[in-house]
Amino acid sequence: MRMEPLKLKSMAGAAKITGTLTSLAGLLLLSLYKGVPLTDQAATDAPSPAALHHAAPSDSSGNRSWMLGTMALLFNCLCFSFWLLLQTKLTKKYPAIYSSTAIMFFISTLQGGAVTLAMERHVSPWMLTSKLEIVTVLYAGIVGSGAGYLIMTWCVEKKGPVFTAAFIPMMQIMVAIIDFFFLHEQIYLGSVLGSVLMILGLYLLLWGKKRDESSVSCTTTTDKQVDEQADDKP
């Protein structure tokens, strides 16, 4: 859609490409590589091999589910990328981000309700029976979805889709920190190396965007000065 200038021969363009690839490498490293543990958290009791044997699905069904899940996640990333790009166009033609977010969630509620009725016809699995379930659903709806997407829409309006998408992989780092401090999980070497690469890539990407914005502002100022000098001439 040609929303982001990309000059491969300039330092800013090279920094943005390098930062994007570095963040992607860090995300893959953090997600796929575990490595040795770096902390001394108490290990949880592992289930017995017999329990794992009965709980684990067969190899064929497991591989099929893994492939289906991978394709679904890739399709979700593609759709989310298009959503960020469409938000840029939408905020220019319809700048009321509160009402646009409300309309979007209303349509999402209709879609989610249709899928729910198609997958589960009984009401009992969807009943909330504990305080933890109620708090989880309220937090996911109000903070995770409502406030989160509203803030992302505001960021897209102010800084563009690339700037907003650059911070999304930081969620992996936040999850690792919460796991360590609140759930007392282990910190592994892959998590640390992946986090370092993601932060480095984010810095390079933001530096490249800042350099592009500075060059554009300088060019605009120069053009205005030339026009003013031309108007002053008799």
Q: What is the mean pLDDT of residues 141-150?
A: 86
Is the CB of residue 29 less than 8 Å from the CB of residue 193?
yes
> What tens digit of pLDDT does each residue of 71-98 get?
887 788 788 888 888 888 888 888 888 8
The DSSP symbol for 214 reads H
Average pLDDT score, the chain:
76
Q: Which H/E stretch holds residue 14?
A: helix 11-32
Q: How many CB atoms lie within 10 A of CB 70?
A: 10
Indicate the pLDDT class of residue 25, thresholds 50, 70 and 90.
confident
Instruction: Give the tens place of pLDDT for each residue, 96-134.
Output: 888 888 888 899 889 888 888 888 778 777 788 888 889
Instruction: Quote the pLDDT of residue 221.
Output: 52
The answer to whether the CB of 231 falls within 8 A of the CB of 209 is no
Dig out the tokens for 133 from the structure. Answer: 């379930």
The pLDDT tens digits of the residues spanning 169-187 come to 777 778 878 888 887 778 8
Coil, strand, or helix at residue 37? Answer: strand
Cβ contacts of 128 within 8 Å, gap of 6 or more: 134, 137
Nearest to 219 by CA among 18, 8, 15, 10: 10
Query: Half-sphere exposure of 231 toward its Cβ, with a 13 Å CA cutoff?
Result: 6
Q: What is the pLDDT of residues 27-86, one digit of tens each?
A: 788 777 878 887 776 544 444 444 444 444 455 565 677 778 778 877 887 888 888 888
The answer to whether the pTM exceeds 0.75 is no
